[in-house]
Amino acid sequence: MTTQQVTRSWELEQAASPLTQEGIVLAVSEQLQIPVSDIQLNDDLLMLGLDSVRLMTLVGKWQAYGAQVSFEDLAEQPTLEVWIDKLVA
């Protein structure tokens, strides 16, 4: 991990709580390495480049903050709209 990636990760953690809409969008943006403005709530995240390893990373992060979701829960419907409903509810 580069210094820039560590700094960006720290900035993201400081910007929003991980289990809020903003935090979820920021985490996905970071994993995809694309700007938040390029991701729509109904975009298929797999089509944007999210692979299984990155998805597992996100699931692990969110579970560490108390989210009750599995890899399968999120892989089944890979859109921010659905994920936010599952994670924020």
pLDDT tens by residue, 11-21: 656 556 889 99
Q: Is the pLDDT of residue 56 over 80?
A: yes
Report the domain count for the chain: 1
Domain limits at 48?
A: 3-88
Spell out the residues 6+ positions from residue 45 whose beta carbon is closer than 8 angstroms to its own: 28, 32, 39, 78, 79, 80
Distance in angstroms (rounded) separating the CA atoms of residues 17 and 86: 16
CATH code of 33's domain: 1.10.1200.10
pLDDT tier for residue 3 given thresholds of 50, 70 and 90? confident
Measured CA to CA, the distance from residue 72 to residue 82 in angstroms comes to 13
Counting Cα atoms < 13 Å in the Cβ hemisphere of 65 gives: 15
pLDDT at 25 over 90: yes
The residue-averaged pLDDT of 16-45 equals 94
